[in-house]
Structure 1
Amino acid sequence: MSRVLLALPLLALATACAGPERTAAPAPLPVPAPAPAPTAAPRAPDGAAANLTIPTRLPDGSYATPNRSISAAAAAWHLRAAFNVAALNCNDPALAPAYNQFLKAHRSALKAAHHALTREYGDASAFDPAMTRLYNYFAQPPVMAQFCATAAPLLHQVAALPAGELPAIAPAALAQIDRPFTDFYARYDAWRADLAAWRAGDVPATPRLAYATEVFRAEPHVGGGTVTLAAR
Protein backbone atom coordinates (compact mmCIF):
# COMPACT_ATOMS: atom_id res chain seq x y z
CA MET A 1 0.00 0.00 0.00
CA SER A 2 2.91 2.32 0.75
CA ARG A 3 4.32 1.71 -2.77
CA VAL A 4 1.16 2.94 -4.39
CA LEU A 5 1.14 6.11 -2.29
CA LEU A 6 4.76 6.78 -3.22
CA ALA A 7 4.07 6.49 -6.97
CA LEU A 8 1.29 9.09 -6.95
CA PRO A 9 3.53 12.09 -6.10
CA LEU A 10 5.98 11.01 -8.84
CA LEU A 11 3.18 10.92 -11.41
CA ALA A 12 2.02 14.39 -10.38
CA LEU A 13 5.60 15.71 -10.63
CA ALA A 14 6.03 14.30 -14.17
CA THR A 15 2.79 15.92 -15.28
CA ALA A 16 3.86 19.30 -13.91
CA CYS A 17 7.23 19.16 -15.74
CA ALA A 18 5.57 18.40 -19.09
CA GLY A 19 4.45 22.05 -19.37
CA PRO A 20 1.31 23.43 -21.07
CA GLU A 21 -0.18 21.51 -24.00
CA ARG A 22 0.82 22.91 -27.41
CA THR A 23 -1.77 23.62 -30.09
CA ALA A 24 -1.15 23.73 -33.90
CA ALA A 25 -0.70 27.20 -35.47
CA PRO A 26 -3.62 28.28 -37.67
CA ALA A 27 -3.10 27.88 -41.43
CA PRO A 28 -2.36 31.17 -43.27
CA LEU A 29 -5.25 32.70 -45.18
CA PRO A 30 -5.00 32.37 -48.99
CA VAL A 31 -3.67 35.49 -50.72
CA PRO A 32 -5.96 36.58 -53.58
CA ALA A 33 -4.35 36.63 -57.00
CA PRO A 34 -3.61 40.14 -58.31
CA ALA A 35 -6.10 41.51 -60.81
CA PRO A 36 -4.80 41.36 -64.39
CA ALA A 37 -3.37 44.62 -65.61
CA PRO A 38 -5.68 46.39 -68.05
CA THR A 39 -4.58 46.03 -71.65
CA ALA A 40 -4.27 49.03 -73.91
CA ALA A 41 -6.72 49.48 -76.73
CA PRO A 42 -5.43 48.05 -80.02
CA ARG A 43 -4.10 50.70 -82.36
CA ALA A 44 -5.20 51.26 -85.94
CA PRO A 45 -2.69 49.86 -88.45
CA ASP A 46 -0.07 51.98 -90.17
CA GLY A 47 -0.86 55.06 -88.11
CA ALA A 48 -4.31 55.38 -89.66
CA ALA A 49 -7.08 57.45 -88.11
CA ALA A 50 -9.73 55.64 -86.11
CA ASN A 51 -12.64 56.86 -88.21
CA LEU A 52 -11.64 56.06 -91.77
CA THR A 53 -14.26 55.21 -94.35
CA ILE A 54 -12.94 52.31 -96.40
CA PRO A 55 -14.45 50.54 -99.41
CA THR A 56 -17.08 47.89 -98.85
CA ARG A 57 -15.87 44.34 -98.42
CA LEU A 58 -17.50 42.11 -101.01
CA PRO A 59 -18.77 38.56 -100.40
CA ASP A 60 -15.59 37.06 -101.88
CA GLY A 61 -13.43 38.99 -99.40
CA SER A 62 -12.14 41.58 -101.87
CA TYR A 63 -12.84 45.31 -101.72
CA ALA A 64 -14.79 47.59 -104.03
CA THR A 65 -11.90 49.89 -104.92
CA PRO A 66 -12.01 52.37 -107.81
CA ASN A 67 -9.77 49.99 -109.78
CA ARG A 68 -12.06 46.97 -109.62
CA SER A 69 -14.14 45.77 -112.60
CA ILE A 70 -13.22 48.60 -114.94
CA SER A 71 -12.72 48.81 -118.70
CA ALA A 72 -9.39 48.52 -120.49
CA ALA A 73 -9.45 52.26 -121.15
CA ALA A 74 -10.05 52.96 -117.47
CA ALA A 75 -7.19 50.65 -116.48
CA ALA A 76 -4.73 52.56 -118.68
CA TRP A 77 -5.91 55.96 -117.44
CA HIS A 78 -6.02 54.86 -113.80
CA LEU A 79 -2.46 53.59 -114.16
CA ARG A 80 -1.47 57.02 -115.44
CA ALA A 81 -3.07 58.58 -112.34
CA ALA A 82 -1.19 56.20 -110.05
CA PHE A 83 2.13 57.00 -111.72
CA ASN A 84 1.37 60.73 -111.48
CA VAL A 85 0.78 60.42 -107.72
CA ALA A 86 3.97 58.40 -107.36
CA ALA A 87 6.04 61.00 -109.23
CA LEU A 88 4.64 63.78 -107.04
CA ASN A 89 4.56 62.09 -103.63
CA CYS A 90 7.19 59.36 -103.48
CA ASN A 91 10.60 60.46 -102.27
CA ASP A 92 12.45 59.39 -105.38
CA PRO A 93 13.89 62.03 -107.73
CA ALA A 94 14.16 59.50 -110.54
CA LEU A 95 10.37 59.13 -110.78
CA ALA A 96 9.60 62.50 -112.36
CA PRO A 97 11.81 61.85 -115.43
CA ALA A 98 10.43 58.31 -115.65
CA TYR A 99 6.88 59.67 -115.56
CA ASN A 100 7.63 62.13 -118.36
CA GLN A 101 9.13 59.27 -120.37
CA PHE A 102 5.98 57.23 -119.70
CA LEU A 103 3.75 60.06 -121.02
CA LYS A 104 5.90 60.45 -124.13
CA ALA A 105 6.19 56.73 -124.91
CA HIS A 106 2.46 56.06 -124.55
CA ARG A 107 0.98 59.35 -125.73
CA SER A 108 -1.34 57.78 -128.29
CA ALA A 109 -2.63 55.01 -126.01
CA LEU A 110 -3.25 57.47 -123.18
CA LYS A 111 -5.09 59.89 -125.47
CA ALA A 112 -7.34 57.10 -126.70
CA ALA A 113 -7.95 55.89 -123.13
CA HIS A 114 -8.87 59.40 -121.99
CA HIS A 115 -11.41 59.85 -124.79
CA ALA A 116 -12.96 56.43 -124.20
CA LEU A 117 -13.18 56.89 -120.43
CA THR A 118 -14.71 60.37 -120.78
CA ARG A 119 -17.41 58.85 -122.96
CA GLU A 120 -18.01 56.20 -120.28
CA TYR A 121 -18.72 58.94 -117.73
CA GLY A 122 -20.84 60.94 -120.15
CA ASP A 123 -19.20 64.35 -119.74
CA ALA A 124 -16.61 66.26 -117.78
CA SER A 125 -19.03 67.06 -114.96
CA ALA A 126 -18.96 63.38 -113.96
CA PHE A 127 -15.45 62.55 -115.16
CA ASP A 128 -13.54 65.27 -113.29
CA PRO A 129 -14.89 64.54 -109.77
CA ALA A 130 -14.28 60.82 -110.33
CA MET A 131 -10.64 61.52 -111.21
CA THR A 132 -10.24 63.72 -108.13
CA ARG A 133 -11.47 60.83 -105.97
CA LEU A 134 -9.07 58.50 -107.79
CA TYR A 135 -6.07 60.75 -107.10
CA ASN A 136 -7.09 61.01 -103.44
CA TYR A 137 -7.36 57.23 -103.32
CA PHE A 138 -3.78 56.74 -104.51
CA ALA A 139 -2.52 59.41 -102.09
CA GLN A 140 -3.82 57.84 -98.85
CA PRO A 141 -1.17 58.50 -96.17
CA PRO A 142 -1.35 55.11 -94.37
CA VAL A 143 -0.64 53.28 -97.63
CA MET A 144 1.89 55.70 -99.14
CA ALA A 145 5.03 53.76 -98.20
CA GLN A 146 3.82 50.47 -99.68
CA PHE A 147 2.27 52.25 -102.66
CA CYS A 148 5.60 53.90 -103.50
CA ALA A 149 7.48 50.64 -103.07
CA THR A 150 5.15 49.04 -105.61
CA ALA A 151 4.55 51.89 -108.06
CA ALA A 152 8.13 53.10 -108.43
CA PRO A 153 9.65 50.02 -110.09
CA LEU A 154 6.53 49.56 -112.21
CA LEU A 155 6.77 53.12 -113.50
CA HIS A 156 10.34 52.56 -114.66
CA GLN A 157 9.35 49.29 -116.27
CA VAL A 158 6.27 50.56 -118.09
CA ALA A 159 8.02 53.75 -119.20
CA ALA A 160 10.58 51.61 -121.02
CA LEU A 161 7.96 49.69 -123.00
CA PRO A 162 7.52 50.31 -126.71
CA ALA A 163 4.57 52.42 -127.81
CA GLY A 164 1.40 50.39 -128.10
CA GLU A 165 2.18 47.99 -125.26
CA LEU A 166 0.34 49.92 -122.54
CA PRO A 167 -3.21 48.55 -123.11
CA ALA A 168 -1.98 44.96 -122.84
CA ILE A 169 -0.20 45.35 -119.49
CA ALA A 170 -2.30 48.07 -117.83
CA PRO A 171 -4.85 45.79 -116.09
CA ALA A 172 -2.20 43.60 -114.46
CA ALA A 173 -0.01 46.55 -113.51
CA LEU A 174 -2.97 48.38 -112.01
CA ALA A 175 -4.00 45.29 -110.02
CA GLN A 176 -0.48 45.10 -108.60
CA ILE A 177 -0.57 48.77 -107.58
CA ASP A 178 -3.99 48.26 -105.98
CA ARG A 179 -2.72 45.44 -103.76
CA PRO A 180 -1.18 47.63 -100.99
CA PHE A 181 -4.55 49.34 -100.57
CA THR A 182 -6.61 46.17 -100.29
CA ASP A 183 -4.06 44.70 -97.88
CA PHE A 184 -4.36 47.81 -95.73
CA TYR A 185 -8.17 47.58 -95.76
CA ALA A 186 -7.95 43.98 -94.57
CA ARG A 187 -5.70 45.03 -91.69
CA TYR A 188 -8.04 47.90 -90.87
CA ASP A 189 -11.06 45.60 -90.75
CA ALA A 190 -9.12 43.20 -88.49
CA TRP A 191 -8.26 46.10 -86.19
CA ARG A 192 -11.92 47.10 -85.99
CA ALA A 193 -12.81 43.57 -84.88
CA ASP A 194 -10.02 43.60 -82.27
CA LEU A 195 -11.17 46.98 -80.98
CA ALA A 196 -14.76 45.77 -80.63
CA ALA A 197 -13.53 42.69 -78.71
CA TRP A 198 -11.37 44.88 -76.45
CA ARG A 199 -14.31 47.16 -75.67
CA ALA A 200 -16.41 44.11 -74.81
CA GLY A 201 -13.69 42.84 -72.46
CA ASP A 202 -12.79 39.89 -74.64
CA VAL A 203 -9.31 38.98 -75.75
CA PRO A 204 -9.17 38.71 -79.54
CA ALA A 205 -8.44 35.18 -80.66
CA THR A 206 -4.96 34.58 -82.05
CA PRO A 207 -3.92 33.69 -84.62
CA ARG A 208 -6.59 35.50 -86.61
CA LEU A 209 -7.91 33.98 -89.80
CA ALA A 210 -7.50 36.40 -92.68
CA TYR A 211 -8.53 36.43 -96.30
CA ALA A 212 -5.77 35.52 -98.70
CA THR A 213 -6.66 38.34 -101.05
CA GLU A 214 -4.38 37.12 -103.80
CA VAL A 215 -6.83 34.33 -104.64
CA PHE A 216 -9.67 36.71 -105.35
CA ARG A 217 -8.24 38.26 -108.47
CA ALA A 218 -6.83 36.79 -111.63
CA GLU A 219 -3.50 38.41 -112.44
CA PRO A 220 -2.04 36.25 -115.19
CA HIS A 221 0.69 38.80 -116.01
CA VAL A 222 1.89 39.32 -112.46
CA GLY A 223 4.75 37.29 -111.09
CA GLY A 224 7.59 37.71 -108.65
CA GLY A 225 6.60 41.21 -107.63
CA THR A 226 6.79 42.63 -111.15
CA VAL A 227 4.56 42.64 -114.18
CA THR A 228 5.59 39.95 -116.60
CA LEU A 229 5.64 41.55 -120.03
CA ALA A 230 4.95 39.35 -123.01
CA ALA A 231 7.26 39.95 -125.97
CA ARG A 232 5.67 40.72 -129.28
Structure 2
Amino acid sequence: MFVSRRLSGRISLVSLAVLAACSTPPPPPPPTPPPVVVPTVRPVPPDNAAEGMSIPTKDEDGKYLTANRGVTSNTALWHVRMALNVAALNCDKYGATARNQYNQLLAVHGPVLKAANAAVDRNYKVAYGNAAIGSRERLNTVVYNFFALPPVIKHFCPVAVAVGAKMLSTPSSQLLLMAPEWLEELEKPFQEFYAAYEDYLRRLAEWQSRFGATVTVIVSPTPLPPPPKPPGEAPPPGWQPSYSSALEANAPPPGDAAGTATSSSSTTVQSLPGDMGANVPSSATVQPLPPSSTGAIVGPPAPARTLPDNSAPPRLEVQPLPTTGE
Protein backbone atom coordinates (compact mmCIF):
# COMPACT_ATOMS: atom_id res chain seq x y z
CA MET A 1 0.00 0.00 0.00
CA PHE A 2 2.74 2.37 0.99
CA VAL A 3 4.80 1.51 -2.08
CA SER A 4 1.89 2.16 -4.42
CA ARG A 5 1.31 5.59 -2.92
CA ARG A 6 4.92 6.57 -3.39
CA LEU A 7 4.85 5.31 -6.95
CA SER A 8 1.72 7.22 -7.78
CA GLY A 9 3.25 10.37 -6.31
CA ARG A 10 6.31 10.06 -8.48
CA ILE A 11 4.15 9.51 -11.53
CA SER A 12 2.24 12.67 -10.73
CA LEU A 13 5.42 14.72 -10.48
CA VAL A 14 6.68 13.32 -13.76
CA SER A 15 3.36 14.13 -15.43
CA LEU A 16 3.47 17.68 -14.18
CA ALA A 17 7.02 18.08 -15.47
CA VAL A 18 6.07 16.72 -18.86
CA LEU A 19 3.05 19.01 -19.06
CA ALA A 20 5.16 22.00 -18.05
CA ALA A 21 7.73 21.20 -20.71
CA CYS A 22 5.06 20.89 -23.45
CA SER A 23 3.19 24.18 -22.69
CA THR A 24 4.31 27.44 -24.57
CA PRO A 25 3.79 31.03 -23.42
CA PRO A 26 1.14 33.11 -25.29
CA PRO A 27 2.44 35.30 -28.10
CA PRO A 28 2.91 39.02 -27.38
CA PRO A 29 0.18 41.42 -28.55
CA PRO A 30 0.62 42.81 -32.09
CA PRO A 31 2.21 46.26 -32.33
CA THR A 32 -0.02 49.31 -32.70
CA PRO A 33 -0.40 50.14 -36.43
CA PRO A 34 0.94 53.55 -37.53
CA PRO A 35 -1.61 56.28 -38.25
CA VAL A 36 -3.11 56.29 -41.70
CA VAL A 37 -1.23 58.72 -43.99
CA VAL A 38 -3.68 61.01 -45.73
CA PRO A 39 -2.10 62.28 -48.98
CA THR A 40 -2.28 66.04 -49.41
CA VAL A 41 -3.05 66.95 -53.02
CA ARG A 42 -1.37 70.10 -54.21
CA PRO A 43 -3.79 72.32 -56.16
CA VAL A 44 -3.21 72.53 -59.89
CA PRO A 45 -4.16 75.36 -62.29
CA PRO A 46 -7.55 75.10 -64.02
CA ASP A 47 -7.77 73.79 -67.58
CA ASN A 48 -4.08 72.74 -67.61
CA ALA A 49 -2.96 76.35 -67.47
CA ALA A 50 0.62 77.23 -66.62
CA GLU A 51 1.70 77.73 -63.02
CA GLY A 52 2.57 81.25 -61.97
CA MET A 53 0.42 82.71 -64.73
CA SER A 54 -0.39 86.41 -64.46
CA ILE A 55 -4.03 87.48 -64.63
CA PRO A 56 -5.56 90.95 -64.96
CA THR A 57 -6.62 93.05 -62.04
CA LYS A 58 -10.28 93.88 -61.45
CA ASP A 59 -11.94 97.16 -62.28
CA GLU A 60 -14.39 99.08 -60.11
CA ASP A 61 -17.24 96.81 -61.31
CA GLY A 62 -15.48 93.66 -60.10
CA LYS A 63 -14.67 92.42 -63.61
CA TYR A 64 -11.18 91.63 -64.83
CA LEU A 65 -9.73 94.52 -66.77
CA THR A 66 -9.33 93.73 -70.48
CA ALA A 67 -8.98 95.70 -73.72
CA ASN A 68 -12.73 95.23 -74.30
CA ARG A 69 -13.82 97.50 -71.46
CA GLY A 70 -15.45 100.86 -72.19
CA VAL A 71 -15.18 100.72 -75.99
CA THR A 72 -17.37 102.49 -78.51
CA SER A 73 -19.87 100.63 -80.68
CA ASN A 74 -17.56 100.68 -83.71
CA THR A 75 -14.65 99.37 -81.63
CA ALA A 76 -16.89 96.73 -80.04
CA LEU A 77 -17.96 95.49 -83.48
CA TRP A 78 -14.34 95.35 -84.63
CA HIS A 79 -13.34 93.40 -81.50
CA VAL A 80 -16.18 90.95 -82.17
CA ARG A 81 -14.82 90.48 -85.68
CA MET A 82 -11.31 89.82 -84.30
CA ALA A 83 -12.70 87.30 -81.79
CA LEU A 84 -14.53 85.39 -84.51
CA ASN A 85 -11.38 85.49 -86.64
CA VAL A 86 -9.48 83.84 -83.78
CA ALA A 87 -12.23 81.22 -83.56
CA ALA A 88 -12.00 80.54 -87.30
CA LEU A 89 -8.26 79.88 -86.94
CA ASN A 90 -8.25 77.94 -83.65
CA CYS A 91 -11.52 76.00 -83.42
CA ASP A 92 -11.01 73.49 -86.24
CA LYS A 93 -10.58 70.66 -83.73
CA TYR A 94 -14.21 71.25 -82.72
CA GLY A 95 -15.50 71.39 -86.30
CA ALA A 96 -15.48 73.75 -89.26
CA THR A 97 -18.51 75.79 -88.16
CA ALA A 98 -16.54 78.75 -86.81
CA ARG A 99 -14.47 79.06 -90.01
CA ASN A 100 -17.51 78.79 -92.28
CA GLN A 101 -19.43 81.34 -90.24
CA TYR A 102 -16.58 83.83 -90.40
CA ASN A 103 -16.39 83.62 -94.19
CA GLN A 104 -20.15 84.15 -94.42
CA LEU A 105 -19.96 87.16 -92.09
CA LEU A 106 -17.42 88.85 -94.33
CA ALA A 107 -19.72 88.35 -97.31
CA VAL A 108 -23.01 89.31 -95.63
CA HIS A 109 -21.87 92.20 -93.42
CA GLY A 110 -18.79 93.33 -95.35
CA PRO A 111 -19.83 97.00 -95.84
CA VAL A 112 -20.71 97.51 -92.18
CA LEU A 113 -17.49 95.87 -91.02
CA LYS A 114 -15.47 98.09 -93.38
CA ALA A 115 -17.28 101.16 -92.09
CA ALA A 116 -16.51 100.16 -88.50
CA ASN A 117 -12.86 99.66 -89.41
CA ALA A 118 -12.75 103.12 -91.01
CA ALA A 119 -14.35 104.65 -87.93
CA VAL A 120 -11.80 103.02 -85.63
CA ASP A 121 -8.99 104.27 -87.90
CA ARG A 122 -10.42 107.77 -87.68
CA ASN A 123 -10.60 107.53 -83.88
CA TYR A 124 -6.92 106.61 -83.68
CA LYS A 125 -5.86 109.36 -86.10
CA VAL A 126 -7.69 111.99 -84.07
CA ALA A 127 -6.33 110.65 -80.77
CA TYR A 128 -2.73 109.78 -81.75
CA GLY A 129 -1.95 111.63 -84.97
CA ASN A 130 1.13 110.20 -86.68
CA ALA A 131 1.35 107.41 -84.07
CA ALA A 132 -2.16 106.12 -84.91
CA ILE A 133 -1.06 103.03 -86.86
CA GLY A 134 1.38 101.81 -84.20
CA SER A 135 -1.10 102.45 -81.39
CA ARG A 136 -3.83 100.50 -83.10
CA GLU A 137 -1.53 97.61 -83.98
CA ARG A 138 -0.49 97.29 -80.35
CA LEU A 139 -4.11 97.08 -79.26
CA ASN A 140 -4.94 94.58 -82.01
CA THR A 141 -2.11 92.35 -80.79
CA VAL A 142 -3.44 92.49 -77.22
CA VAL A 143 -6.98 91.63 -78.37
CA TYR A 144 -5.89 88.73 -80.60
CA ASN A 145 -3.72 87.24 -77.84
CA PHE A 146 -6.55 87.65 -75.36
CA PHE A 147 -9.03 85.63 -77.41
CA ALA A 148 -6.36 83.04 -78.33
CA LEU A 149 -5.50 82.15 -74.70
CA PRO A 150 -4.90 78.36 -74.94
CA PRO A 151 -6.57 77.19 -71.69
CA VAL A 152 -9.84 78.90 -72.65
CA ILE A 153 -10.11 77.83 -76.30
CA LYS A 154 -12.29 74.80 -75.57
CA HIS A 155 -14.74 77.00 -73.66
CA PHE A 156 -14.49 79.90 -76.10
CA CYS A 157 -15.19 78.02 -79.35
CA PRO A 158 -18.83 77.06 -78.57
CA VAL A 159 -19.57 80.64 -77.51
CA ALA A 160 -17.99 81.99 -80.70
CA VAL A 161 -20.15 79.68 -82.81
CA ALA A 162 -23.28 80.86 -80.94
CA VAL A 163 -22.37 84.53 -81.42
CA GLY A 164 -21.55 83.93 -85.09
CA ALA A 165 -25.00 82.44 -85.64
CA LYS A 166 -26.65 85.44 -83.96
CA MET A 167 -24.61 87.82 -86.08
CA LEU A 168 -25.56 86.08 -89.30
CA SER A 169 -29.25 86.31 -88.43
CA THR A 170 -29.08 90.02 -87.53
CA PRO A 171 -29.60 92.76 -90.14
CA SER A 172 -26.50 94.79 -90.90
CA SER A 173 -28.23 97.93 -89.64
CA GLN A 174 -28.40 96.42 -86.14
CA LEU A 175 -24.80 95.25 -85.80
CA LEU A 176 -23.53 98.37 -84.02
CA LEU A 177 -26.42 98.15 -81.57
CA MET A 178 -25.78 94.51 -80.70
CA ALA A 179 -21.95 94.55 -80.80
CA PRO A 180 -21.37 95.49 -77.11
CA GLU A 181 -23.66 92.66 -75.97
CA TRP A 182 -21.93 90.11 -78.23
CA LEU A 183 -18.52 91.27 -77.09
CA GLU A 184 -19.48 90.73 -73.45
CA GLU A 185 -20.76 87.25 -74.34
CA LEU A 186 -17.50 86.37 -76.10
CA GLU A 187 -15.48 87.59 -73.11
CA LYS A 188 -17.44 85.61 -70.51
CA PRO A 189 -15.37 82.36 -70.78
CA PHE A 190 -12.21 84.37 -70.12
CA GLN A 191 -13.72 86.16 -67.14
CA GLU A 192 -14.71 82.75 -65.72
CA PHE A 193 -11.22 81.37 -66.34
CA TYR A 194 -9.59 84.28 -64.55
CA ALA A 195 -11.92 83.76 -61.59
CA ALA A 196 -11.04 80.04 -61.48
CA TYR A 197 -7.33 80.82 -61.67
CA GLU A 198 -7.62 83.34 -58.86
CA ASP A 199 -9.35 80.67 -56.74
CA TYR A 200 -6.53 78.26 -57.59
CA LEU A 201 -3.98 80.79 -56.34
CA ARG A 202 -5.94 81.14 -53.10
CA ARG A 203 -6.04 77.35 -52.54
CA LEU A 204 -2.37 77.06 -53.45
CA ALA A 205 -1.48 79.67 -50.84
CA GLU A 206 -3.44 77.72 -48.24
CA TRP A 207 -1.72 74.46 -49.20
CA GLN A 208 1.66 76.16 -49.03
CA SER A 209 1.03 77.40 -45.49
CA ARG A 210 -0.03 73.92 -44.26
CA PHE A 211 2.04 71.36 -46.16
CA GLY A 212 4.60 73.08 -48.30
CA ALA A 213 7.10 74.28 -45.71
CA THR A 214 9.99 72.79 -47.71
CA VAL A 215 8.60 73.76 -51.11
CA THR A 216 8.86 77.18 -52.70
CA VAL A 217 5.74 78.06 -54.63
CA ILE A 218 4.85 81.39 -56.22
CA VAL A 219 1.30 81.95 -55.01
CA SER A 220 0.92 85.59 -55.98
CA PRO A 221 2.29 86.27 -59.48
CA THR A 222 2.60 89.80 -60.76
CA PRO A 223 -0.72 90.85 -62.32
CA LEU A 224 -0.90 91.76 -65.96
CA PRO A 225 -0.37 95.43 -66.72
CA PRO A 226 -3.49 97.37 -67.73
CA PRO A 227 -4.25 96.88 -71.43
CA PRO A 228 -4.16 99.86 -73.78
CA LYS A 229 -7.42 101.76 -73.81
CA PRO A 230 -9.06 102.33 -77.19
CA PRO A 231 -9.81 105.98 -78.04
CA GLY A 232 -13.29 107.44 -77.99
CA GLU A 233 -15.47 108.07 -81.00
CA ALA A 234 -14.22 110.90 -83.23
CA PRO A 235 -16.59 112.98 -85.36
CA PRO A 236 -16.86 111.91 -89.01
CA PRO A 237 -15.51 114.14 -91.80
CA GLY A 238 -17.64 117.20 -92.47
CA TRP A 239 -19.31 117.03 -89.05
CA GLN A 240 -20.92 120.26 -87.84
CA PRO A 241 -22.01 120.81 -84.23
CA SER A 242 -25.76 120.88 -83.75
CA TYR A 243 -27.40 123.42 -81.50
CA SER A 244 -28.87 121.96 -78.37
CA SER A 245 -30.82 125.06 -77.36
CA ALA A 246 -32.18 128.28 -78.78
CA LEU A 247 -29.68 130.19 -76.63
CA GLU A 248 -26.74 128.50 -78.43
CA ALA A 249 -28.41 129.05 -81.80
CA ASN A 250 -28.74 132.80 -81.14
CA ALA A 251 -25.28 133.21 -79.61
CA PRO A 252 -22.86 135.64 -81.34
CA PRO A 253 -20.43 134.09 -83.81
CA PRO A 254 -17.23 132.68 -82.27
CA GLY A 255 -15.00 135.18 -84.12
CA ASP A 256 -16.61 138.11 -82.28
CA ALA A 257 -14.46 137.73 -79.16
CA ALA A 258 -15.40 141.09 -77.68
CA GLY A 259 -19.07 140.26 -77.86
CA THR A 260 -19.96 143.26 -80.03
CA ALA A 261 -23.29 143.31 -81.76
CA THR A 262 -23.13 142.73 -85.52
CA SER A 263 -26.28 143.80 -87.29
CA SER A 264 -27.33 145.24 -90.60
CA SER A 265 -28.00 148.91 -91.14
CA SER A 266 -31.60 148.49 -90.02
CA THR A 267 -33.43 145.88 -88.02
CA THR A 268 -37.14 145.29 -88.39
CA VAL A 269 -39.07 145.49 -85.14
CA GLN A 270 -41.91 143.00 -84.87
CA SER A 271 -45.20 144.45 -83.71
CA LEU A 272 -46.23 143.56 -80.17
CA PRO A 273 -49.47 141.77 -79.50
CA GLY A 274 -52.55 143.69 -78.43
CA ASP A 275 -52.48 147.33 -77.47
CA MET A 276 -48.82 147.16 -76.45
CA GLY A 277 -47.75 147.51 -80.05
CA ALA A 278 -50.46 149.90 -81.21
CA ASN A 279 -48.11 152.87 -81.36
CA VAL A 280 -45.31 151.02 -83.15
CA PRO A 281 -45.77 150.56 -86.90
CA SER A 282 -44.72 147.24 -88.36
CA SER A 283 -42.37 148.94 -90.80
CA ALA A 284 -40.45 150.88 -88.16
CA THR A 285 -36.71 150.40 -88.17
CA VAL A 286 -34.09 150.84 -85.49
CA GLN A 287 -30.85 152.51 -86.52
CA PRO A 288 -27.70 150.73 -85.27
CA LEU A 289 -25.70 152.41 -82.58
CA PRO A 290 -22.19 153.58 -83.43
CA PRO A 291 -19.51 151.23 -82.08
CA SER A 292 -17.61 152.37 -79.05
CA SER A 293 -13.87 152.59 -78.82
CA THR A 294 -13.76 149.67 -76.44
CA GLY A 295 -15.83 147.36 -78.63
CA ALA A 296 -18.56 147.03 -75.98
CA ILE A 297 -22.24 147.43 -76.73
CA VAL A 298 -23.17 151.11 -76.31
CA GLY A 299 -26.65 151.94 -75.04
CA PRO A 300 -28.55 155.23 -75.13
CA PRO A 301 -26.95 158.10 -73.22
CA ALA A 302 -27.96 158.37 -69.60
CA PRO A 303 -30.03 161.41 -68.55
CA ALA A 304 -28.03 164.32 -67.18
CA ARG A 305 -27.77 164.53 -63.40
CA THR A 306 -27.02 167.65 -61.39
CA LEU A 307 -24.25 166.96 -58.91
CA PRO A 308 -23.62 169.14 -55.83
CA ASP A 309 -20.67 171.52 -55.92
CA ASN A 310 -17.92 169.85 -53.87
CA SER A 311 -15.25 172.43 -54.63
CA ALA A 312 -15.83 174.36 -51.37
CA PRO A 313 -14.81 172.75 -48.07
CA PRO A 314 -17.66 171.39 -45.99
CA ARG A 315 -19.14 173.69 -43.37
CA LEU A 316 -19.95 172.44 -39.87
CA GLU A 317 -22.79 174.06 -38.00
CA VAL A 318 -22.00 174.85 -34.35
CA GLN A 319 -24.81 173.90 -32.03
CA PRO A 320 -25.30 176.00 -28.82
CA LEU A 321 -24.70 174.26 -25.51
CA PRO A 322 -27.77 173.70 -23.36
CA THR A 323 -28.06 175.90 -20.24
CA THR A 324 -27.78 174.24 -16.82
CA GLY A 325 -30.11 176.70 -15.03
CA GLU A 326 -27.46 177.97 -12.56
Q: TM-score, normalised by structure 1?
A: 0.69
- Aligned counterparts of 1:199 and 1:120: Cα–Cα separation in 2: 48
User: 1:112 corresponds to which letter in structure 2?
Assistant: A
In the TM superposition, what is the alpha-carbon distance from 1:87 to its structure 2 partner? 1.0
Q: 2:111 aligns with which of 104, 108, 113?
A: 108
In the TM superposition, what is the alpha-carbon distance from 1:112 to its structure 2 partner? 2.1
In the TM superposition, what is the alpha-carbon distance from 1:33 to its structure 2 partner? 6.2
Q: Give the equivalent residue in structure 2 for 1:62.
A: 63
Q: Give the equivalent residue in structure 1 for 2:204.
A: 195
Q: 2:167 aligns with which of 158, 172, 176?
A: 158
Q: Give the equivalent residue in structure 1 for 2:140.
A: 131
- Cα distance per residue 1:60-119 (max 9 Å; x no partner): 421101211111111000000011111111122233232122112222221222122223
> Alignment partner of 2:38: what SS?
coil
- Cα distance per residue 1:18-66 (max 9 Å; x no partner): xxxxxxxxxx9x9586264341210000000012221112344211012
Is contact 1:105-1:161 (8 Å) kept? no
Is contact 2:47-2:151 (8 Å) kept? yes
Is contact 1:106-1:164 (8 Å) kept? no
Greater gyration radius:
2
1:186 aligns with 2:195: yes
Q: Give the equivalent residue in structure 2 for 1:217.
A: none
Q: Give the equivalent residue in structure 2 for 1:45.
A: 46
User: 2:180 corresponds to which letter in structure 1?
Assistant: P
- Aligned counterparts of 2:77 and 2:60: Cα–Cα separation in 1: 27
Equivalences for 1:209-228 in 2 at 5 Å?
none
Q: Give the equivalent residue in structure 1 for 2:81.
A: 80
Unaligned runs of 5+ in 2: 1-28, 212-326
Q: Give the equivalent residue in structure 2 for 1:205.
A: none
Is contact 1:82-1:138 (8 Å) kept? yes
Is contact 1:105-1:162 (8 Å) kept? no
Is contact 2:98-2:161 (8 Å) kept? yes
Q: What RMSD, in angstroms, separates the aligned Cα atoms of the two structures?
A: 2.5
- Aligned counterparts of 1:38 and 1:105: Cα–Cα separation in 2: 58
- Aligned counterparts of 1:171 and 1:96: Cα–Cα separation in 2: 22
Is contact 2:73-2:176 (8 Å) kept? yes
**Between structures 1 and 2, the one with greater helix share:** 1
Q: 1:147 aligns with which of 125, 147, 156?
A: 156
- Aligned counterparts of 2:110 and 2:161: Cα–Cα separation in 1: 20
Percent identity at matched positions?
40
- Aligned counterparts of 1:38 and 1:127: Cα–Cα separation in 2: 51
Unaligned runs of 5+ in 1: 1-27, 203-232
Is contact 1:87-1:95 (8 Å) kept? yes
Is contact 2:74-2:120 (8 Å) kept? yes
In the TM superposition, what is the alpha-carbon distance from 1:156 to its structure 2 partner? 2.1
Q: How many residues align?
A: 178
Q: 1:166 to 1:180 in 2, by over 3 A?
A: same
Is contact 1:56-1:63 (8 Å) kept? yes
> Alignment partner of 1:164: what SS?
helix
User: 1:120 corresponds to which letter in structure 2?
Assistant: N
- Aligned counterparts of 2:69 and 2:101: Cα–Cα separation in 1: 26
- Cα distance per residue 1:100-147 (max 9 Å; x no partner): 221122222212221222233331111012101111110111000110
- Aligned counterparts of 1:66 and 1:125: Cα–Cα separation in 2: 16
> Alignment partner of 1:201: what SS?
helix
User: 1:94 corresponds to which letter in structure 2?
Assistant: T
Is contact 1:88-1:96 (8 Å) kept? yes
